Amino acid sequence: MASRDDIKFLSNPKIGQKRTKYCRFRKFGIKYIDYKDPEFLVQFVNEQGKLLPRRITGNSLKYQRKVSAAVKRARHLAILPFVTDLLK
Partner 1 sequence: MRHYEVTFIVDPVLSGDEIKTTAQAYVDMLQQEGCTIVHNDEMGLRQLAYPIKKRNSGVYYCVEFSSETGAFIPKVELALSRDERIMRFLTVALDKYGVKYNADKRAGLIGKKPTAKAVATVEGEGVATKKAEPAPKAEPKAAAPAPVQEEE
62 part of the interface to partner 1, by CB under 8 A: no
Specify the DSSP class assigned to residue 11.
Answer: S
Specify the DSSP class assigned to residue 43.
Answer: G
* Three-state DSSP state, 10: coil
Specify the DSSP class assigned to residue 79.
Answer: S
Shortest Å, Cβ 33 to partner 1: 8
Residues from 35 through 54 that contact partner 1 (CB under 8 A): 35-40, 43
**What residues pair up with 51 in beta bridges, in sequence order?**
45
Size, binding site for partner 1 by CB under 8 A: 29
Of 14, 77, 85, 86, which lies in the binding site for partner 1, with binding defined by CB under 8 A? 77
